[in-house]
């Protein structure tokens, strides 16, 4: 993404840029060669170094500009979040980007912002931590957040757009329209999901809202077969702990199992667990124990959901 050079305020570069301790201090301090960081009176910004510095300065000054580009495509226009597909220039190449503006929707959310890490900032940080751990997730490119004393101002997050991909919920809906997920495709999908969650848990990450809409499925059609790569998205609910208990692992798995209980056959559930254990090598229990715990928690979730709907 290139902005007009007259958008660049030299005074902003010379006088407004300074180091500041934030939730991303650990990342920027230990990886100075990988990230830009800018602090202005309006907001704090971080970006990967492949984004030209002049473009980043323009972005932090005019955060709405990507929405005004001629090829900008609106994906979601909600009261809280506005998401669009636009483009940035990364490493001197124009690439598609998912650009999101988030506003705090009520007084309670605004009050909580004084004590909690900004969600967009958290997604940027945890996204890079996951990538460093070898976990598939769209690469965060830039984040702009207001200062804590400015709760009415929005946050902005840019992540790399993944082509030929839909979330798992949409993928299953399309499959239903086509009567069913092809047997071979379901097998590959189950294995890919198992490997993804195994890597997440093995690196001591958890996701409190690991539902099907927070998993991205990228499809690659080859002449001989179709392959799937799964990625975790919407990292608001993701966190990294020093140790991930079996109960927490099973609770994560049961959330996804609730959505997928009718999508996978028994054999594909087993393939999922086998793939999960192939990546999550530090799990202290066997697959039968995990199966029973996840099944019990899934039933509990289902019953709770039914009561809430009644």
Calculate the dihedral angle through the C-alpha atoms of 233, 34, 61, 141, rounding to the nearest 10 degrees: -20
Instruction: Look at 282 and 158; give whichever has higher pLDDT.
Output: 158
Q: Which listed CATH number (3.40.50.300, 2.60.110.10, 1.10.510.10, 1.20.1090.10) goes with 165-305?
A: 1.10.510.10
Q: Indicate if the pLDDT at residue 237 is higher than 80.
A: yes
Write the DSSP symbol of residue 46: E
Is 60 exceeded by the pLDDT of residue 6? no
Provide Rg for the chain, Cα atoms: 21
Angstrom CA distances, 16 to 1, 30, 130, 240, 256, stand at 23, 22, 31, 33, 45
State the DSSP string of 71-135.
T-EEEEE-SSEEEEEEEEEETTEEEEEEEEEE---SHHHHHHTTTS--HHHHHHHHHHHHHHTT-
* Cα separations in angstroms, 32 against 29, 43, 53, 209: 6, 20, 14, 32
On the question of pLDDT at 274 being above 50, the answer is: yes
The per-residue pLDDT for range 65-109, each reduced to its tens digit, is 999 999 999 999 888 899 999 999 998 899 999 999 998 765 545
Q: Return the pLDDT at 156.
A: 96
* Residue 23: pLDDT over 60: no
What are the start-end ranges of the E strands in 241-308?
Answer: none
Task: State the helix-helix crossing angle for 183-202 and 266-279, rounded to 10 degrees.
Answer: 30
High-pLDDT (> 90) share of the chain, %: 47
Task: For residue 244, give both structure tokens.
Answer: 């991930």
- CA distance readout (Å), 247 to 201, 252, 297: 12, 9, 10
- Phi/psi at 104 (5° precision): -75, 125
- Which tokens sit at 64? 């709405």
Helices and strands (H, E) in the chain, number of each type: 10, 12
Please report the pLDDT score of residue 124 as a whole number.
96
How far is the C-alpha of 105 from the C-alpha of 81, rounded, in Å?
9
Domain limits, the chain: 5-160, 165-305
pLDDT mean across residues, the chain = 82
**DSSP summary character for residue 280:** -
Token pair for 86: 């636009």
Q: What 3-state DSSP class applies to 157? A: strand
Residue 21 has pLDDT above 50, yes or no: no
Q: What is the pLDDT of residues 164-189, one digit of tens each?
A: 999 999 988 887 666 556 777 888 89
pLDDT value for 260:
87
Decide: 252 and 210 in contact? Cβ < 8 Å.
yes
The rounded percent of the chain whose pLDDT value lies above 70 is 79
Residue 22 confidence (pLDDT): 45
pLDDT for 220 equals: 83
């Amino acid at each position: 993404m290139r902005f007009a050079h007259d958008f660049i305020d030299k005074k902003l570069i010379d006088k407004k840029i300074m180091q500041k301790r934030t939730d991303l201090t650990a990342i920027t301090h230990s990886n100075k060669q990988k990230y830009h960081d800018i602090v202005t009176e309006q907001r704090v910004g971080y970006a990967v170094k492949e984004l030209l510095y002049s473009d980043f300065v323009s972005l932090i000054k005019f955060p709405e500009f990507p929405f005004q580009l001629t090829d900008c495509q609106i994906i979601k226009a909600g009261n809280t979040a506005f998401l669009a597909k636009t483009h940035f220039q990364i490493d001197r190449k124009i690439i598609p980007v998912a650009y999101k503006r988030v506003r705090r929707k009520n007084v309670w959310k605004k009050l909580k912002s004084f004590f909690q890490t900004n969600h967009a900032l958290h997604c940027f940080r945890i996204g890079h931590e996951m990538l460093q751990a070898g976990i598939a997730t769209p690469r965060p490119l830039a984040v702009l957040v207001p200062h804590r004393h400015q709760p009415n101002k929005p946050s902005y997050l840019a992540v790399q757009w993944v082509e030929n991909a839909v979330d798992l919920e949409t993928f299953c809906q399309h499959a239903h329209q086509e009567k069913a997920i092809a047997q071979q495709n379901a097998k590959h999908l189950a294995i890919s999901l198992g490997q993804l969650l195994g890597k997440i848990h093995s690196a001591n990450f958890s996701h409190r809202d690991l539902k099907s809409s927070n998993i991205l499925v990228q499809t690659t059609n080859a002449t001989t077969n179709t392959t799937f790569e799964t990625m975790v998205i919407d990292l608001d609910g993701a966190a990294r702990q020093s140790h991930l208990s079996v109960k927490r692992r099973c609770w994560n798995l049961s959330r996804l199992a609730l959505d997928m209980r009718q999508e996978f056959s028994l054999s594909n559930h087993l393939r999922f667990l086998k793939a999960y254990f192939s990546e999550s090598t530090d799990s202290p229990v066997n697959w039968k124990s995990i199966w029973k715990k996840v099944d019990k928690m899934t039933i509990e979730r289902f019953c709770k959901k039914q009561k809430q709907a009644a």
